């Protein structure tokens, strides 16, 4: 699903943090959610996924 958003997200770069880090790790580097969470300093995949959803929601609502 995230890959389907890639053209829209690319058009809005530079991305705000923490969305930029989460997007890079998950979509551009293809890491799994537990590794994304670890590298982003978050407590787990559930928190990382929620942060990604919130960041994307904010990104698209500001457009």
- Is the pLDDT at 2 greater than 80? The verdict is yes
Domain count, the chain: 1
Of the chain, the percentage scoring pLDDT greater than 90 comes to 83
Q: By residue range, what is the domain housing residue 39?
A: 16-61
**For residue 8, is pLDDT > 80?**
yes
In a domain, 32, yes or no: yes
Determine, yes or no, domain membership for 2: no
- How much is the pTM? 0.90
Q: Which residue has the tokens 């799994």?
A: 32
Decide if 4 is inside a domain.
Answer: no
In angstroms, the CA 34 to CA 11 distance is: 27
Question: Is residue 39 one of the residues assigned to a domain?
Answer: yes
In a domain, 45, yes or no: yes
User: In this structure, is residue 49 part of a structural domain?
Assistant: yes
């Amino acid at each position: 699903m995230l890959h389907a958003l890639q053209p829209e997200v690319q058009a809005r770069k530079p991305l705000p943090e923490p969305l930029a880090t989460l997007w890079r790790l998950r979509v551009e580097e293809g890491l799994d959610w537990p590794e994304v969470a670890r590298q982003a300093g978050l407590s787990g995949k559930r928190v990382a996924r929620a942060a990604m959803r919130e960041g994307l929601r904010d990104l698209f609502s500001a457009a």
